[in-house]
Amino acid sequence: MSTSQTLVEQNSLKREFYHLIINGEKVESNNGQTISTYNPATGELVAQVAKASKEDAERAVQAAREAFDHGKWRKYPVGRRAQVLNKIASIMRSRFNEIVELEILDTGKSLSTAQGQVNQAIEDFEFYAGAIVGHRGVVNNMPGQFHNYTEKEPVGVCAQIIPWNYPIMMAAWKIAPAIAVGCSVIVKPASLTPITAIILGEICLEAGVPAGVVNIIPGSGAEVGNYLVEHKQVDKVAFTGSTPIGKDIMNKASNTLKRVTLELGGKSPNIVFEDADLDAAVDGSLYGIFYNSGQSCEARSRLYVHENIYEQFVEKFVSKAKQIKLGNPFDKETHMGAIIDQTQLDVIDGYVQSAIQDGAEVLSGGKVAQVEGFENGFWYEPTVIANVNHSMKVVNEEIFGPVVVIMKFKDEKEAIQLANDTEFGLGSAVWSKDGARATRVANEIQAGIVMVNCPFSAMPGTPFGGYKQSGFGRELCIETLDLYTETKSIISYYGNRPLNPLGL
Ligand code: NAD
Ligand code: MN
């Protein structure tokens, strides 16, 4: 049994200190620096985490490079890589409650939310264990005595930079497809939420992923993230985070022509037609914005309701929004957890204040929440804002908090026009019992995802990603495998007469 195998089995996952994972080893940062990570629900310290420096990042790049260029992982038979991915999933399942607990402590999210996300992270590995087996090149029909086939080759060393809102899920979305095809990865988790990505890295080792294939290095985005983006020996950067940082990354990656995929921000429209099942639309729309305390890139934060049902819808929606329970994240009765930190809380409140100044009307919430027993945490009331228009900041910019704006529309054409009047294009939702209408509208919306009478945007197998300034590339699906591979075209001539193209 290797050291890495004993390490997870014998140790509790809940610790006072978490190491970096570089070249198959748990290490401290070279300069001894650490990140303190806090529980946003209580403000309490959760743990210290080694904070990677540029030197650590360099070591991770060299380890990933070595594992890719000279290692065995990408040369394993595909079935064997699939087996390791399934093993990762089964170890995660056996540590399910511990991972959920750590995710809640590090993010302040509610129990059911965390459970769903850890479960999805597990299913992502299972999905790619299956998907990889069918991922292959093609044979092309050629004229004359030529033969052409393609190989899907792993792109190489991938830097994977992820945000704080779904720590383990984002780590799984990145790691699973990349290692499935044989790449090596360097994951840079957000400093606010580094723990579960580290745990996932340890589990990868335990499951038999060779040293250097999966490296996890929490650290500063501006320093370590940027170092990876600019590094000549990194072949690809996969980034999930805000649109401004995404633009910066794309810009810098151009110097080395790195492959880039970007999953960025959003301001997703949610359209409720007069023929919708009203209760389903109300419940789905509440989930669409208040899930994960609104800290979702695909949060349905712009709600458009047909004028004939507007009053009725808003009454139900607001009355249920007021019933959303904030409280102990570990309590299964709690609907909504905390906000990630004070900075984000200030950002959210700033948007609400700007809306009020612009003449909007707050129908519920609209302020920092007081949660009994959790006075030192960061909480915001589920907030519904009406009397807004498309010239307001609260309507145009991503808030990343539990704040929804509601507007009226008069017909299908106007609904589509309003929905598309944004620089983003990630999620969207349509509520209607008229299937033809739902299809027409789904076809017209400029977004990567359209949810029709459905509150859920992401399940393993369904493509996730954006149009416009929400980024490009799709995750969570089969085509993600193409984004971690290069297509090599092999052309051969099988005639029995030598070719003499220059006629010499
Ligand atoms: P962020 O852009 O501030 O940070 C994301 C990651 O990038 C972090 O790990 C950070 O350390 C790193 N980073 C920061 N500056 C960097 C730089 N100059 N070079 C390289 N890396 C750098 O975003 P956040 O606040 O952590 O997350 C919230 C944002 O993420 C929201 O805009 C949200 O919409 C977006 N998001 C998008 C998706 C999606 O799939 N589209 C999913 C989740 C979150
Ligand atoms: Mn934390």
399 CA distance to ligand 1 middle (Å)? 14
Structure tokens at 328: 């102990």
Residue-level pLDDT at 11: 72
How far apart CA 130 and CA 128 sit, in angstroms, is 5
**Average pLDDT rounded to a whole number, residues 171-182:** 98
How far apart CA 52 and CA 384 sit, in angstroms, is 41
**Average pLDDT rounded to a whole number, residues 149-160:** 98
How far apart CA 53 and CA 42 sit, in angstroms, is 29
User: Could you give the C-alpha distances from 368 to 346, 378, 450, 497, in angstroms and in order?
Assistant: 9, 8, 32, 81
Task: Provide the residue ranges of all domains of the chain, joining segments of one domain with +.
Answer: 10-264+470-488, 269-452
Was domain 269-452 assigned CATH 3.30.70.3270? no
pLDDT digits (tens, 9 = 90+) for 104-128: 999 999 999 999 999 999 999 999 9
Q: Which strands, in side-by-side order, build the sheet including 485-493?
A: 139-140, 146-154, 485-493
- Are 86 and 202 in contact by the 8 Å Cβ rule? The answer is no
Residue 80, phi then psi, degrees to nearest 5 = -75, -40
User: Could you give the C-alpha distances from 96 to 8, 90, 118, in angstroms and in order?
Assistant: 13, 9, 7
Our answer on whether the CB atom of 161 is closer than 6 Å to any ligand 1 atom is yes
Q: Strand, helix or coil at 431? A: strand
Is 80 exceeded by the pLDDT of residue 9?
Answer: no
Residue-level pLDDT at 406: 98
Was domain 10-264+470-488 assigned CATH 3.40.605.10? yes
**Average pLDDT rounded to a whole number, residues 331-348:** 98
User: At a CB cut-off of 8 Å and minimum separation 6, what does 10 contact?
Assistant: none
Our answer on whether the CB atom of 264 is closer than 6 Å to any ligand 1 atom is yes
Our answer on whether the CB atom of 288 is closer than 6 Å to any ligand 1 atom is no
104 CA distance to ligand 2 middle (Å)? 9
Q: Which of these, 140, 151, 154, lies nearest to 74 by C-alpha position?
A: 154
pLDDT digits (tens, 9 = 90+) for 47-69: 999 999 999 999 999 999 999 99
**Average pLDDT rounded to a whole number, residues 318-346:** 98
How far apart CA 464 and CA 458 sit, in angstroms, is 7
Query: pTM to 2 decimals?
Result: 0.96
- Are 333 and 295 in contact by the 8 Å Cβ rule? The answer is no
Alpha carbon 253 to its chain centroid, in Å, reads: 20
Is 90 exceeded by the pLDDT of residue 5?
Answer: no
What band does 10 get if pLDDT is binned at 50, 70 and 90?
A: low
User: Closest ligand to 471 CA?
Assistant: 1
Share of the chain above pLDDT 90, in %: 97
**Average pLDDT rounded to a whole number, residues 232-237:** 98
How far apart CA 298 and CA 292 sit, in angstroms, is 11
Instruction: Calculate Rg over the CA atoms of the chain.
Output: 24
pLDDT digits (tens, 9 = 90+) for 476-494: 999 999 999 999 999 999 9
Query: Atom 30, ligand 1: which residue's CA is nearest?
Result: 241
Residue-level pLDDT at 1: 40
What band does 2 get if pLDDT is binned at 50, 70 and 90?
A: very low
Classify strands 429-431 and 451-452 as parallel, antiparallel or unpaired: parallel
| Active-site annotation, residues | 263, 297
167 CA distance to ligand 2 middle (Å)? 10
**Average pLDDT rounded to a whole number, residues 184-203:** 98
User: Number of C-alpha atoms within 13 angstroms, CB side, residue 504?
Assistant: 1
Q: Strand, helix or coil at 250? A: helix
- Are 153 and 486 in contact by the 8 Å Cβ rule? The answer is yes
Is 90 exceeded by the pLDDT of residue 299?
Answer: yes
